[in-house]
Structure 1
Amino acid sequence: MERREALAPCDGFLHQAGVQTFAFHPFEAPENAQAIRHDLRAFLAENQPNDEPVRRANCWTTFDPGFSRALGQAGYIGMLWPKEYGGHERDPLERYIVLEELLAAGAPVGAHWIADRQTGPLLLRYGTEEQRRKYLPGMARGELYACIGLSEPGSGSDLASVRTSARRTEEGWLINGQKVWTTGAHISHVMLALIRSEEGSERQQGLSQFLIDLDTPGVTVRPIEDMFGGADFNEVFFEDVLIPHGALVGTEGEGWKQATAELALERSGPERYLSSHALLVELIDACGDDADPAIIATIGRLVSDMWTLRQMSMSVAAKLAAGHDPTVEASIVKDLGNTYEQELPQMVQAVVDLQLTDDSTLARMLTMLLQVSPSFSLRGGTREILRGIVARGLGLR
């Protein structure tokens, strides 16, 4: 039975209840998919650093500027962008295959990740010609890194309550305030920040997006150390930071709409179910041919869950490639993907007989992911925010 036929009775019931439903969008792999995988695997065999195995887990927050430059030189960054800005004008589904291969291999892609995934596409959509020419070529080369300034102290995922201010002066925009939980700010060159540009405005009104070069006087970046000793997150302070008038991205006062459109790009990619993948691979390699039945059952469940999430994520990628808005579907992928990524180390811990003080690669990966995986459901929006988006999209609120 076709999938849509199987879902038809359920859809009919939901429509009678006044609930919006969404069609499955098939992912049709490009004809050169296998060639892309073959070429990228050959590139990784030659260029992927042979460093600490634990760095393969959660690798899209592992920073390696040298690897990012090599990836850019090989044409794997800015794949969809126009060639005039350093891009390669490739098919969106080709890019998805590249991302999946990089993450499955545990490649250290964190340095360029946000620039490639969010900042570059947003500049192509809303940026000025000057902004595109200033930032995009360096991003495509894997040499210019970006971070996203959204959350603030006291606001969390309630982005509409941000208080960092931008005041227009004759010389430019004067920025004051603070951002927190900013991934990669310590190695980034520029921040795309959501800032209140209209005094006295409330909630979504009066918000604008600005490009802030992080070497501008008055900018201070302070790393936030996690339980495992890493410092992917940062707090960023702005004290009378003067940026040019041309740093405004898009239309003044429409930053909320721009930022929420940008988040759809963040929430649906393969990184939403592959952050803990290296641990699953290590478990399979370590258990051998005579694995305990409980371990085999756990591997079976994890692999089947991952397969389902992969189909969902690829469906969102196909919808994006077709020019449709997958905001609700992307939120579902992130919510379910984060749950999977957080449950994976817990399930492995439940069936593997080892001490977390062991020096094996499996034990060290498990120790790291047990400590850092609680943060997976914070980045890109908490579960409460995501489920609110889904409920609103389904007409339930």
Structure 2
Amino acid sequence: MRTFSILPFSPPPGVAALREQVRAFIAEHRPPGDAARRANCWAVADAGFSRALGAAGYIGMTWPKAYGGGERHPLERYVVLEELLAAGAPVGMHWIADRQSGPLLLRYGTEEQRLRFLPAVARGELYACIGMSEPGSGSDLASVRTQGRRTPEGWRINGQKLWTTNAHNAQLMIALVRTGEDSQRQEGLTQFLIDLSSPGVTVRPTIDLVGGHDFNEVFFDDVLVPDSMRVGEAGAGWRQVTAELSLERSGPERYLSSFALLVELIRVSGPTPDPIIAGLIGRLTAEAWTLRQMSMSTAAKLAAGEDPALEAAMVKDLGNSFEQELPRVVQAAVDGRFDLSGDTDFARVLAFLLQVSPSFSLRGGTREVLRGIIARGLGLR
């Protein structure tokens, strides 16, 4: 039976100095805004901040210099992400392109695709979205129904994607499409780079219950995609997309989305907090630290060339549970101890996370799907 194996997080020397550099950058460039924007900040889009990050070399850090990257160590990149998220920096505009789209093209894309897209991503100027989920499919990714038909001039794409984060800002989608005639489930799937300004593409906003616009529906009506925009081999999409999901599930964003509330709780509690609050701060800090060690170990395995699909699923499942529990337990503990009716940073962050945190376990695979992966990985099913 497999277990969660820990690989030491061993970045190159100079990480302490790198942290200080990133903190100085954030202090200089982070735009002013409501305290609630510091929570779940990897969904907060700010093109100016992304361009400043790109100019400083903090996007595409590990990529070859030929593609606009910095050829930095992968664990240096992890440190930068951790600092950005802990500070609540608005990184949502470029997040998906840096985290998934770029690495996917480095691994499976053509040289033409890499030279065309990656330098602009690294500059913080090109943004991408993920075309996986579809209506009526839930988290059953293998039930993709969007069709791709090969023609003499390229591929004709017809179908619909749902829950496409940042599609309203993105220029590019990497879409999973069924190209095999009469294929079923994992067979006959292919990934394509789709220019969202192409004729036949329609992006419609999906407004959440608190009025936020993170998600979108994207419709494809006989959209022509050149074969040069196919990613990898035709029919190999399932293998490619499952490898991509390890990048999506294991990072520090999977336990830091609610971190701003813990920071505010410590701030408003002062140096001598109520014993109940002190105990809660200690418990939440210990849980966050444990999740951090698990996430860092998973990052170390990715950096070493391993495929930590099991560990990534564990980090996401446990991290989502922590992120969702944090606002609930804080609300219960502070009831009667703090005035939540005022317009304070603490009250705004708490109110925001109580409304949006239920969605955290949906993105990147639902809890049920993840626990199925974990059960198989542990030999329990």
TM-score by length of 2: 0.98
**Regions of 4+ moved over 4 Å:** 354-357
Which residue does 2:46 correspond to in 1?
Answer: 64
Q: 1:373 aligns with which of 351, 357, 360?
A: 357
Aligned partner letter, 1:80: T
For residues 194-237 of structure 1, give each alpha carbon's deviation from its aligned partner in whole angstroms, at most 9, with x where no partner exists.
11011211100111100001000111111111122111011111
Which residue does 1:289 correspond to in 2?
Answer: 271
Q: For the Cα contact (< 8 Å) 2:157–2:221, is it kept in 1? A: yes
Which residue does 1:222 correspond to in 2?
Answer: 204
- RMSD of the TM alignment (CA)? 1.0
Q: For the Cα contact (< 8 Å) 2:54–2:123, is it kept in 1? A: yes
Q: For the Cα contact (< 8 Å) 2:11–2:73, is it kept in 1? A: no
Which residue does 1:163 correspond to in 2?
Answer: 145
Secondary structure of the residue aligned to 2:363 is coil
2: CA distance between counterparts of 1:355 and 1:310? 31
2:294 is the counterpart of 1:312: yes
The 5-angstrom pairing of residues 140-219 of structure 1 reads 140-219=122-201
Structure 1: which 5+ runs fail to align? 1-18
Q: How far off its partner does 1:23 sit?
A: 2.8
Q: How far off its partner does 1:315 sit?
A: 0.4
2: CA distance between counterparts of 1:76 and 1:39? 11
Which residue does 2:33 correspond to in 1?
Answer: 51
TM-score by length of 1: 0.94
Q: 1:32 aligns with which of 1, 11, 14?
A: 14
Secondary structure of the residue aligned to 1:110 is coil
Which residue does 2:256 correspond to in 1?
Answer: 274
Which residue does 1:113 correspond to in 2?
Answer: 95
2:226 is the counterpart of 1:244: yes
Which residue does 1:234 correspond to in 2?
Answer: 216
Q: 2:334 aligns with which of 333, 349, 352?
A: 352
1: CA distance between counterparts of 2:51 and 2:108? 26
Q: What percent identity do the matched residue pairs reach?
A: 69
Which residue does 2:77 correspond to in 1?
Answer: 95
Q: For the Cα contact (< 8 Å) 2:137–2:143, is it kept in 1? A: yes
2: CA distance between counterparts of 1:289 and 1:270? 28
2: CA distance between counterparts of 1:355 and 1:214? 46
Q: How far off its partner does 1:325 sit?
A: 1.1
Q: 2:323 aligns with which of 321, 335, 341?
A: 341
1: CA distance between counterparts of 2:276 and 2:125? 46
1:289–1:22 CA distance, 2 compared to 1 (3 A): closer
Q: How far off its partner does 1:127 sit?
A: 0.3
2:280 is the counterpart of 1:298: yes
- Alignment coverage as a number of residue pairs: 379
Structure 2: which 5+ runs fail to align? none
2: CA distance between counterparts of 1:218 and 1:161? 23
2: CA distance between counterparts of 1:334 and 1:53? 25
